[in-house]
């Protein structure tokens, strides 16, 4: 005898709503699953984007800790100098005095690489890798101010690592070595 209170169609719909979408599905909806935090979905109402909130919730990763509280022992900004024309804001950050504010920041030149930031823990293990292709100079600086540990605040140097093949690059690459 069937239970009159149990509706299999309704049950399947509820399961489908709670199901998590694949990374490919999320990308098709305009979300990058690996980088989308659920706290961001909660802010969609503020911008009149309630319609995409259910999909956002299916693609997001639960926040382990508020982003404003997460800090990392070290960061590596990796970029290719050949990409400076495409990313002038990253070039401006690197060539300005701003990186010197962060003693635990390393700038590494990697041939052919779009700009990324690798965030490391105290043991040197990479915890997160973020694309910074769309960030402006101020955003890069603010991110490091917020997310890099303040240890060694008295130092005013950072390190630069170059590709061995980039010997003919401009002088500013050589002047920032420690």
* pLDDT score for 74: 95
Contact between 88 and 116 under an 8 Å Cβ cutoff? The reply is: no
> What are the tens digits of pLDDT across the range 77-103?
999 999 999 999 999 999 998 999 999
CA atoms within a 13 Å half-sphere pointing along the CA-CB vector of 104: 23
To the question of pTM greater than 0.85 for the whole model, the response is no
Largest distance between two CA atoms of the chain: 83
* pLDDT score for 4: 55
> What are the tens digits of pLDDT across the range 18-72?
457 888 888 898 888 877 888 889 888 888 999 999 999 888 877 665 555 678 9
Reduce the DSSP state of residue 93 to 3 states and report it: helix
Token digits of residue 150: 């303040």
Mean pLDDT computed over every residue of the chain: 78
Token digits of residue 67: 């982003």
Q: Vertex 43, ends 147 and 114: CA angle to 5°?
A: 45
Higher pLDDT, 24 or 3: 24
């Amino acid at each position: 005898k069937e239970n009159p209170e149990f509706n299999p169609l309704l049950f399947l719909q509820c399961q489908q709503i709670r199901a998590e979408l694949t990374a490919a599905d999320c990308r098709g909806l305009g979300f990058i699953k690996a980088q989308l935090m659920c706290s961001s979905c909660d802010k969609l109402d503020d911008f009149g984007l309630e319609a995409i909130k259910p999909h956002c919730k299916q693609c997001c990763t639960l926040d382990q800790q508020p982003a404003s509280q997460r800090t990392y022992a070290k960061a590596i900004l990796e970029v290719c100098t050949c990409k400076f024309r495409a990313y002038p804001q990253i070039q401006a950050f690197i060539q300005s005095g701003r990186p010197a504010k962060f003693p635990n920041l390393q700038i590494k030149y990697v041939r052919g690489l779009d700009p990324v930031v690798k965030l490391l823990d105290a043991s040197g293990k990479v915890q997160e890798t973020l694309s910074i292709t769309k960030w402006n100079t101020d955003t890069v600086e603010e991110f490091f101010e917020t997310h890099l540990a303040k240890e060694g605040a008295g130092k005013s140097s950072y390190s630069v690592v170059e590709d061995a093949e980039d010997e003919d690059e401009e002088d500013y690459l050589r002047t920032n070595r420690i």
